[in-house]
Structure 1
């Protein structure tokens, strides 16, 4: 795994809407430092970094980065009902299906 990805993942999940402008800018810079495409291993690691909301759009940047993996990370399992909304968004975009609630 490339150092840029390791750095982003090591900083943990994205903050929520209460994050400072500096924190949001820092995480955005970290994401833009990761060249595309990402590997399946990197995509799987990045998929663990979603926070509770869209972090002022940074979560969408993360989704789009993960989706540059040519393999579309099919080996990831259904995140389950306890997972956050962003894990569900990503799973659905990968073609996962969920039973009706």
Structure 2
């Protein structure tokens, strides 16, 4: 895994809307440092970095970064109480026809 991805993952999930401006800016810089086309391993690890909300749009940047890798990253329909971003990734892959027909 590339050092830029490891650094982002090491800082854990994105903060929620109460995160400080400095922390959110730092996480944005970390994401910007990751060149696009993540590996499958990187994408799977990055999925665990979603926080409880959209973190002022940073979660969308993370979602789009994950989608540059091999898809689908989420292999099965998430549980009803799953993180909304996991559900969103699954739904987008499902809408794109990336899962086998039932």
Tell me if TM exceeds 0.5. yes
- Kept after mapping to 1: 8 A contact 2:16/2:55: yes
1:69-88 superposed matches below 5 A: 69=69, 71-74=70-73, 76-88=75-87
- Kept after mapping to 1: 8 A contact 2:52/2:83: yes
What runs of 5+ residues in structure 2 fail to find an aligned partner? none
What runs of 5+ residues in structure 1 fail to find an aligned partner? none
Q: CA RMSD in A?
A: 1.7
Q: Provide the TM-score with structure 2 as the length reference.
A: 0.86
Q: Provide the TM-score with structure 1 as the length reference.
A: 0.87
Please say if 1:9 is aligned against 2:9.
yes
Q: Secondary structure at the match of 2:79?
A: coil
- Kept after mapping to 2: 8 A contact 1:14/1:55: yes
Aligned twin of 1:93: 92
